[in-house]
Amino acid sequence: MNKAVFLDRDGVLNEEMGDYVWTPERFRICPGVPESLARLKAAGYYLIVVTNQAGIAKGLYTPAEVLACHHILQQACGNIVDSIYYSESHPSVSESIFRKPDSGMLEKAVARFQLDPARCWLVGDRARDMAAGAKLGVRGILVGPAEPLAYSPRVADLWEATELILSEEK
């Protein structure tokens, strides 16, 4: 069985803008992300992005615009992200088991990459990210100050999350 790091997108990999981020002009990779992902990949982790993109269900943007941002992410990180899953759903429009806090995106990746959830991590900036991972027994790391949630471990950014993950490997 393999191991992976599941990564939320907005607020972890790219800057959170306070609303939806879907245009290439507003899609800015956070400092240290390419280096962090390279370190995790070198340690043998699959890198899997799991992101809610409710703006699609709300008609604010299209899947093509989301894919354009994902292309920027892959280019900035040397195309080392193994897969990117996104949920187009929003409870006000449509329900889906793929929208976090449900675990559908993670379950798809577990099956595809033959992952052992006990050897995986989820790095996110919201309670719904932590809940999605917990449903499968995936350890979570909450990043950033945005979520008013008492959660441990909690670190500043992906760089610190990477340090924590790699220190657990020893």
Tens of pLDDT, residue by residue over 51-73, are 999 999 999 999 999 999 999 99
The predicted structure's pLDDT at residue 92: 76
User: In which domain, by residue range, is 22 found?
Assistant: 4-169
Read off the CATH number of the domain in which 126 is found: 3.40.50.1000
* Number of domains within the chain: 1
pTM for the full model?
Answer: 0.96
Question: Cα separation of 93 and 75, whole Å?
Answer: 32
Q: What are phi and psi of 101, to 5 degrees?
A: -90, 0
pLDDT class of 91 with cuts at 50, 70, 90: confident
Per-residue pLDDT tens digits for 6-41: 999 999 999 998 788 999 999 999 999 999 999 999
Mean pLDDT score of the chain, rounded to an integer?
Answer: 95
Strand order in the sheet with 46-52: 83-87, 46-52, 4-7, 121-124, 139-143, 154-155
- Which positions are catalytic? 8, 10
CB 140 within 8 A of CB 128: no
